[in-house]
Amino acid sequence: MSTIHKATQPSDFLAAVPALLGFQPTDSVVVVPFADSLTVGAMRFDLPSAENAAHVANVAAGMVCKMEGATGLALVVYGERTEAEVVSAAMTQTAAECGLRMVGGFYVTGAGWGLIGGDVVSPMPEVPAPLVALVPDGDQRCGAALPEVDEALAREVAAAIPADLSIALATQGTDPLGLIEAALSWDGSALEAQSVAALIAVMNRPALRDVALVQWAHGLLVGASALHAQIAWEGGTEYPRHLAAVMWGEGSRPDAERLRAALTACRHLAALAPGAAQVGPLAAAAWLSWALGRSTHAEVYARRALAIDAEHGLSQIVASFVAAGHLPEFVFTR
């Protein structure tokens, strides 16, 4: 579902930017791609030093150029006026070289905003009522905090994590694909310890975790194909490229609603998992965030996982993607 908000003046546009991102940015450079007069998402970067402004501009423009139908961009710098002017100069030059139209340049500092290059600072407008629900409290980092969970449930989950997952699933009368699919409709306020414990075990087995991520991205039938391919690969058969491509961010665009539901489930798994068992759910949350284009959150989850296990493969991969400014190819299609 899309929310349409008509911005007739700069203040209307600036009030809508947090809703495009899903948080209130601070110390940030936000680039909003346009397809003619319509916005097609938003990208956030850490506010760079003057020496790194050109690099951020190059990365941002490169991403905009990859977006389907993008013709221009608007720039919003959340920082001081002088910082905004440095970033704007680099962004304007790079956009021109790439054939992108600069729709506008703004900065937000404290409770005020101004046009980059102008002298007037105006009060920030209130977020329009239809968009308020789309902007949770907190900045870009707060959205990655794990949910609060019941301590008694966490103790029950810790005691129930199976040493032998296949036996545990058989005892429950549950197949792994069914468990993975059911997580999409979990109610965080009414979780069942045995199912949570079993899925934590799934997330800590890389082969099954990757099956889960592929299934969450593209559906139960694709998950079944991934599971059969994984079993065949362990027997010496080459793993299908179109399934492997999902993990690298290639191929058809995943179902964003499924990814968001899976991310919610994995955040609860990580919050309920004991000690080292957090690593799998955190890594899955990192990948899901990355697949949704939320690199800031992806890095938080990956770093938390690496703090527990510095050699964890998927967490290392996601952290390296974020460090390189690499996003999935399907993020750039509509």
- Those residues with Cβ within 8 angstroms of residue 246's Cβ, 6 or more apart along the chain or in another chain: 213, 214, 217, 218, 254
Q: What is the mean pLDDT of residues 191-216?
A: 95
Q: What are phi and psi of 76, to 5 degrees?
A: -130, 120
Strands 72-78, 112-115: parallel, antiparallel or unpaired by DSSP?
unpaired
Contact 28, 44 (CB under 8 A): yes
In a domain, 144, yes or no: no
Convert the pLDDT of each residue in 179-188 to its tens digit: 999 999 998 8
Mean of pLDDT values over 95-110:
92
Tally of domains within the chain: 2
Alpha carbon distance 168, 173 (integer Å) = 9
Which of 62-76, 136-150, 200-214 is modeled with the greatest confidence?
200-214
Residues 175 and 57 occupy one common structural domain:
no
- Mean pLDDT along residues 70-94: 95
Query: 54 and 186 share a domain?
Result: no
Same domain, 166 and 133: no
Interatomic CA distance for residues 160 and 180, integer angstroms: 17
Q: Are residues 126 and 158 in the same domain?
A: no
3 band by pLDDT with thresholds 50, 70 and 90 = very low
What band does 334 get if pLDDT is binned at 50, 70 and 90?
low
Judge whether residue 137 has pLDDT over 70: no
Most confident region among 9-23, 63-77, 114-128 by mean pLDDT: 63-77
Contacts of 139 (CB under 8 A, 6+ apart): 23, 24, 25, 26
Pair 64, 108 in one domain: yes
Residue 55 and residue 124 in one domain = yes
% of residues, the chain, pLDDT over 90? 64
Q: Is the pLDDT of residue 100 over 80?
A: yes
Q: Is residue 145 in some structural domain?
A: no
Which residues are paired to 108 by β-bridges?
A: 78, 113
Kindly report, residue by residue over 223-274, the tens digit of the pLDDT.
999 999 999 998 899 999 999 999 999 989 999 999 999 999 999 999 999 9
pLDDT surpassing 60 at residue 219: yes
Q: Tell me the CB-side half-sphere exposure of residue 33, using CA atoms within 13 A.
A: 23
**Of 137, 171, 186, the domain-final residue:** 137
Q: Which two tokens stand for residue 244?
A: 């492997």
Tell me: do 315 and 178 sit in the same domain: yes
- 113: domain range? 10-137
Please check the confidence at residue 189 and state whether its pLDDT lies above 70: yes
Question: Which of 88, 107, 137 is the C-terminal boundary of a domain?
Answer: 137
pLDDT digits (tens, 9 = 90+) for 293-325: 888 899 999 999 999 999 999 999 999 999 888
**pLDDT average, residue stretch 74-103:** 95
Angle between helices 193-203 and 165-172 (to 10 degrees): 150
What's residue 135's pLDDT?
63
Predicted pLDDT at 8: 52
State residue 32's pLDDT score: 93
In this model, does residue 75 exceed pLDDT 50?
yes
CATH number at residue 15: 3.40.140
Cα gap 184→288, rounded to integer Å: 13
Interacting residues of 244 by C-beta distance below 8 A, sequence separation 6+: none
Mean pLDDT of the chain: 89
Does residue 129 or residue 45 have the better pLDDT?
45
Per DSSP, the three-state class of 273 is: coil
Is residue 2, in this structure, part of any structural domain at all? no
pLDDT at 192: 93
Asked if residue 160 and residue 122 are part of one domain, the reply reads no
Give pLDDT, residue 129: 66
Same domain, 128 and 169: no
The answer on pLDDT for 2 being more than 70 is no
pLDDT at 83: 95
Alpha carbon 297 to its chain's center: 6
pLDDT above 60: residue 7: no
Residues 157 and 132 in one domain: no
Q: Are residues 133 and 208 in the same domain?
A: no
In the predicted model, is pLDDT for residue 140 greater than 80? no
Output the pLDDT for position 300.
Answer: 92
pLDDT digits (tens, 9 = 90+) for 278-296: 999 999 999 999 999 888 8
Residues 131, 255 within the same domain? no
**pLDDT at site 16:** 83
Q: Is residue 3 part of a domain?
A: no
